[in-house]
Structure 1
Amino acid sequence: MNNQDEQWQQAWQSPDQMGMQKKQILLNSINDRIDNRRRHKKQLFFIGLSAAAAILVAVFIKMPGNSAAITANAWQELASAESSKKIMLEDGSVVWLAPHSTVKVYADFFKKRSTLLTRGTAFFSVAKDAQRPFTIGVNRQRVTVVGTAFTIHKLDSVDLQLTVKEGKVALNNPSGNLLLTAGQQVITTRAKSGVVNRIDPGTADWWLQHQLRLQNIKLEELLNRIETYYQVKLTYGTINKNKKVTLTWDLTISLQDNLTVLNTLTGYNIH
């Protein structure tokens, strides 16, 4: 036991026998110890804070970009080139991309069935799973399904065209929620749903066939299909868009070769 500890013991047992000077010295030692402990805790706190800051800086430096880049890494981007592309998803769903189309799939897709159509046209055949709805984000609109088949065409940075082949599809946008069923199609304007039209369900995935025989199809509808699928804007003079034609559209040959057949049948110069 050191001298100061002996003084502490004396002060505890016989406080009246200790002079005021010694008592003051002991009180000062108490304050010194308290201050030392506080300073030590502050040092530990700042050391820990500095270490945490260093770790955060190191992590940030290793990142390829800012927080937007972190979010982007949560998505896997898949794209098609000059021809259509089939994509098998891990839940059994299938996505067919038309030429020059791009879709993003959530990295942990089995946990969260979420995709984004960022360019072009895609046909979705969604595996049924009532517990995990399948969502597709297009611009700032959202399509939600449980199990169905449909095509989405991204018209521009705001609008879309949704065509349902089978099942039910829910479209959510600033105009509210809209439920579409097989054989229905809607086109949005300024991100708001327009009139729901009745169509042939087969128009949703007509381009998945190698060759398609089109019987008495209106020229206007055919041109719309071509522009949607190939992501092009056709040029033509004055034509009768209500004119009906019958032809075989061959998806194994070039667009120009198919247009040559169409122009031979109609006498027009569509290119």
Structure 2
Amino acid sequence: MNRRQEYLKYLLEKERWTIDDEEWMLSYLERGELGAFENVAREAFNEDVASYKNVRDIRLSESALKSIHQRIDMPKPSLMQSIQLHWVKYAAAACIVLLLGWGYLYMTVFYSGSQSIPVQHVTTAATERKTIELPDGSFVSLEPGTSLDYPATFTGETRKVSLKGEAFFEVAKDAKHPFVIQTKHLKTTVLGTSFNVEAYDTKLSKVVVVTGKVKVQTDEDKQTIILTPNQSVVYNNTTGELVKKEVATEAQFYQHRRIGKFNYRGVGLDKVVEDLQRYYNTTITIEGDTKECMFYGDLFAGDQLEKSLGLIATSLNATIKKDTKNSYTIVGGHCR
């Protein structure tokens, strides 16, 4: 599932839409590119989307659009806007039918003369991961127990967001408007790159760069460090110490987690187990000498942990023992 399709699915599953969500959907409808929407509908209903494509009842489409726009509190459109709306009506007709078939459509856009920019607040539950698209086209993958605040529209000289928790950022390039992530103790500035920021209410805060270059600063800009790919900086929230490290393996983990596939070609079993423990927030113990074995294979983030452990066990001729609800042991086996 591509990012646009993933974001469409996310919007349609939300109970209510924010102003930014509504503006994004209106922009999507105006473009008339309905392929991603049809894919989401196919997945949701598990039926042939071709049946929707055969809908040609323009009166139904007009009625649907009229109903939607009656729910949008906006000034009466100009003649040009009316012409544009007339064109969009037909371009988006099939999409509107799909929306109505989905069962609900929350669109209440408010246009006002106020200059204040609404702040969007996104959170994830303790076991939830979520990817969102920001107004500038950047993507943010939120880890469990994370919150992100960002403006409905980026204005001014920078694109600033606030983070509490952990997230992977893929920032759209815009040299004239640096992207800034503010956490409790660190400020990270970037022009266009991908990196992971970890800033829970714990002892340490961390930034890991996968691609590009970022600048990390402490409170009141007392310390500044420049990071390039495969480098990280760790900030001790207690002592105020800022330490730079080379972390190629850790950067690779974040990249794999983002794409949803952990690719191993001769990686030690202890490292594979470490990745699984981090991703699934669990405890895995290796009994015997198999921790020195090399593992070859792909593990998918969307799979249940037991399936991934089963693949590892098969490659080693080992067995998996479930100790508690959230604890496993790899027993026996040998290197191949």
Aligned-pair distance for 1:210?
4.2
2:245 is the alignment partner of 1:196: yes
Aligned-pair distance for 1:74?
4.3
- CA deviation profile, 1:192-230 (whole Å, cap 9, x unmatched): 333411415543320233444311223343333333333
Partner of 1:248: 298
2:252 is the alignment partner of 1:208: no
Kept in 1, the 8 Å contact 2:151–2:161? The answer is no
Alpha carbons of structure 1 residues 217 and 83: separation in structure 2 relative to 1, 3 Å:
farther
Counterpart amino acid of residue 194 in structure 1: V
TM-score (normalised: structure 2) = 0.50
- CA deviation profile, 1:2-52 (whole Å, cap 9, x unmatched): xxxxxxxxxxxxxxxxxxxxxxxxxxxxxxxxxxxxxxxxxxxxxxxxxxx
User: What is the 5 A alignment of 1:57-72?
Assistant: none
In 2, Cα distance between the equivalents of 1:217 and 1:78?
A: 34
Alpha carbons of structure 1 residues 192 and 245: separation in structure 2 relative to 1, 3 Å:
farther
Alpha carbons of structure 1 residues 206 and 91: separation in structure 2 relative to 1, 3 Å:
same
- CA deviation profile, 1:54-94 (whole Å, cap 9, x unmatched): xxxxxxxxxxxxxxxxxxx8451232675642211111111
Identity of aligned residues (%): 23
Partner of 2:212: 167
In 2, Cα distance between the equivalents of 1:137 and 1:263?
A: 42
Alpha carbons of structure 1 residues 257 and 83: separation in structure 2 relative to 1, 3 Å:
farther
- CA deviation profile, 1:143-173 (whole Å, cap 9, x unmatched): 1112111122346523233221211011222
2:232 is the alignment partner of 1:185: yes
User: What is the 5 A alignment of 1:1-271?
Assistant: 74-79=119-124, 82=127, 84-98=129-143, 100-111=144-155, 113-119=159-165, 121-154=166-199, 156-173=201-218, 176-190=223-237, 192-199=241-248, 202-230=252-280, 232-236=281-285, 243-266=293-316, 267=318, 271=328
Which of the two has higher C-alpha Rg?
1
Flag structure 2 segments of 5+ consecutive residues without an equivalent: 1-117, 322-326, 329-336
Cα RMSD (Å): 3.1
Counterpart amino acid of residue 138 in structure 2: S
In 2, Cα distance between the equivalents of 1:188 and 1:239?
A: 36
Q: Which one scores higher on RCO, CA 8 angstroms, separation ≥ 6?
A: 1
Alpha carbons of structure 1 residues 130 and 203: separation in structure 2 relative to 1, 3 Å:
same
Flag structure 1 segments of 5+ consecutive residues without an equivalent: 1-72
Kept in 1, the 8 Å contact 2:164–2:200? The answer is no
TM-score (normalised: structure 1) = 0.60
In 1, Cα distance between the equivalents of 2:236 and 2:270?
A: 20
Paired residue total: 196
